A and B are shown apart, each in its own frame.
Chain A
Amino acid sequence: MTSTATSAPSAETGLDHLEIQGVKKVFGDNTAIERLDLNVHKGEFLSLLGPSGCGKTTLLRMIAGFETPTDGAILLGGKDIVSLPPHRRPVNTVFQSYLLFPHMNIADNIAYGLKQAKVPKPEIAQRVREALALVQMEDFAGRRPEQLSGGQQQRIALARALVNRPQVLLLDEPMSALDRKLREEMQLELKRLHTRLDTTFVFVTHDQDEALAMSDRIVVMYDGVIQQIGTGEDIYANPHNGFVAGFIGKQNFISAEVASTDATTATLRTANAVLTAPTLTLRPSTAAGEPRDLTVGDRVRAAIRPERMHVAPAGEASGDANTARGAVISYSFLGDVIQYMIVVGDNDEILARVPAAGREPISAGTEVELSWDADAVTVYDREPGLPAAAVEGGA
Chain B
Amino acid sequence: MSTTTTTETAKRGLSPRFFGPAAMSFPTWAYALFFFIVPLALIVFYSFGYKPDEFTAIATDRLSFDRYPEAMSASFVSTFFATLRISIVGTILCLLIALPFAYWLAVKVSPARRSLALALVMVPFWTNFLVRTLGWQIMLSPDGFLSNWLQGLGLLDGPLDILYTRSAVQIGVVYNYLPLMILPLFVAIDASGKKLREASYDLGAGKVKTFMRVTLPMAMPGVVSGCLLVFIPLNGDYVTATVLGGASGSMVGQLIANQFNTAQNWAVGAAMAMILIISTLVVVGLGFALLKLGQAITAKLNSVPLQDGRA
List the A side residues contacting B214 at CB < 8 Å. Answer: 101, 103
- Using a CB-CB cutoff of 8 Å, which residues 74-107 of chain B contact chain A? none
- Using a CB-CB cutoff of 8 Å, which residues 255-309 of chain B contact chain A? 302-306, 308-309
Given A116-B205, A122-B310, A125-B310, also A95-B195 (CB < 8 A): yes
Is B199 located at the chain interface by the 8 A CB criterion? Answer: yes
Is the beta-carbon distance between A125 and B198 smaller than 8 angstroms? no
B181-207 Cβ-contact flags toward A at 8 Å (1 or 0): 000000000000001101111111110
Given A97-B195, A116-B205, also A102-B218 (CB < 8 A): yes
List the A side residues contacting B206 at CB < 8 Å. Answer: 85, 87
Is the beta-carbon distance between A101 and B304 smaller than 8 angstroms? no
Is the beta-carbon distance between A125 and B195 smaller than 8 angstroms? no
Is the beta-carbon distance between B304 and A86 smaller than 8 angstroms? no
List the B side residues contacting A85 at CB < 8 Å. Answer: 201, 206
List the B side residues contacting A129 at CB < 8 Å. Answer: 306, 309-310
B116 to chain A, nearest CB (A): 21
List the A side residues contacting B200 at CB < 8 Å. Answer: 101, 112
Is A126 located at the chain interface by the 8 A CB criterion? Answer: yes
Is the beta-carbon distance between A125 and B306 smaller than 8 angstroms? yes
CB closest chain-A residue, reference B213: A112
- Whole-angstrom CA separation of A230 from B202 in the bound complex: 29
- Whole-angstrom CA separation of A128 from B307 in the bound complex: 11
List the A side residues contacting B213 at CB < 8 Å. Answer: 112
Is B217 located at the chain interface by the 8 A CB criterion? Answer: yes
CB closest chain-A residue, reference B204: A116
- Whole-angstrom CA separation of A113 from B206 in the bound complex: 11
Is A44 located at the chain interface by the 8 A CB criterion? Answer: no
- Whole-angstrom CA separation of A65 from B213 in the bound complex: 20
Is B209 located at the chain interface by the 8 A CB criterion? Answer: yes
List the B side residues contacting A111 at CB < 8 Å. Answer: 304
Is the beta-carbon distance between A65 and B201 smaller than 8 angstroms? yes
Is the beta-carbon distance between A121 and B304 smaller than 8 angstroms? yes
A295 to chain B, nearest CB (A): 52
Is the beta-carbon distance between B198 and A112 smaller than 8 angstroms? no
Count of A-B contacts judged by CB separation below 8 Å = 89
Is A344 located at the chain interface by the 8 A CB criterion? Answer: no
Is A364 located at the chain interface by the 8 A CB criterion? Answer: no
List the B side residues contacting A199 at CB < 8 Å. Answer: none
List the B side residues contacting A141 at CB < 8 Å. Answer: 306
Given A95-B195, A103-B217, A116-B209, also A126-B309 (CB < 8 A): yes
Is A160 located at the chain interface by the 8 A CB criterion? Answer: yes
- Whole-angstrom CA separation of A134 from B202 in the bound complex: 21
List the B side residues contacting A86 at CB < 8 Å. Answer: 198, 201-202
CB closest chain-A residue, reference B220: A103
Main secondary structure of the interface of A (DSSP, over half): helix
- Using a CB-CB cutoff of 8 Å, which residues 286-328 of chain A contact chain B? none
Is A178 located at the chain interface by the 8 A CB criterion? Answer: no
List the A side residues contacting B195 at CB < 8 Å. Answer: 95, 97, 99
List the A side residues contacting B199 at CB < 8 Å. Answer: 93, 95, 99, 101
A261-291 Cβ-contact flags toward B at 8 Å (1 or 0): 0000000000000000000000000000000
A284 to chain B, nearest CB (A): 38
A104-124 Cβ-contact flags toward B at 8 Å (1 or 0): 010110011101110001111
**The one of B203, B306, B308 that contacts A112, using a Cβ cutoff of 8 Å:** B203
Is the beta-carbon distance between A92 and B202 smaller than 8 angstroms? yes
B201 to chain A, nearest CB (A): 4
Is A333 located at the chain interface by the 8 A CB criterion? Answer: no
From B198, B206, B304, name the one whose CB has the most chain A CB atoms within 10 angstroms.
B304
A60-103 Cβ-contact flags toward B at 8 Å (1 or 0): 00001110000000000000000001111001110101010111
A207 to chain B, nearest CB (A): 21
- Whole-angstrom CA separation of A122 from B217 in the bound complex: 25
B241 to chain A, nearest CB (A): 39
Is the beta-carbon distance between B304 and A87 smaller than 8 angstroms? no
- Whole-angstrom CA separation of A26 from B209 in the bound complex: 30
Is the beta-carbon distance between A117 and B204 smaller than 8 angstroms? yes
- Whole-angstrom CA separation of A160 from B196 in the bound complex: 13
- Whole-angstrom CA separation of A128 from B196 in the bound complex: 20
- Using a CB-CB cutoff of 8 Å, which residues 122-138 of chain A contact chain B? 122-126, 128-129
Is the beta-carbon distance between B201 and A164 smaller than 8 angstroms? no
Is the beta-carbon distance between B201 and A108 smaller than 8 angstroms? no
- Whole-angstrom CA separation of A95 from B195 in the bound complex: 9
List the B side residues contacting A93 at CB < 8 Å. Answer: 199, 202
CB closest chain-A residue, reference B194: A66
Is the beta-carbon distance between A128 and B204 smaller than 8 angstroms? no
From B217, B218, B306, name the one whose CB has the most chain A CB atoms within 10 angstroms.
B306
- Whole-angstrom CA separation of A169 from B108 in the bound complex: 28
Given A66-B198, A103-B217, A116-B209, also A92-B203 (CB < 8 A): yes
**The one of B201, B217, B218, B310 that contacts A126, using a Cβ cutoff of 8 Å:** B310
List the B side residues contacting A65 at CB < 8 Å. Answer: 201-202
From A85, A87, A102, name the one whose CB has the most chain B CB atoms within 10 angstroms.
A87
Cross-chain pairs A/B with CB under 8 angstroms, 29 sampled? A86-B201, A87-B202, A87-B205, A87-B206, A91-B202, A92-B203, A93-B199, A93-B202, A95-B199, A99-B196, A101-B218, A107-B304, A107-B306, A111-B304, A112-B203, A112-B213, A113-B204, A116-B204, A121-B305, A121-B309, A125-B305, A125-B306, A125-B308, A126-B310, A128-B306, A129-B306, A160-B203, A161-B203, A164-B203
Known: A101-B200, A116-B203, A116-B205. 16 other contacts (CB 8 A): A87-B201, A87-B202, A87-B204, A91-B202, A97-B195, A99-B196, A101-B214, A101-B218, A103-B218, A107-B303, A117-B204, A121-B304, A122-B309, A125-B304, A126-B309, A129-B310
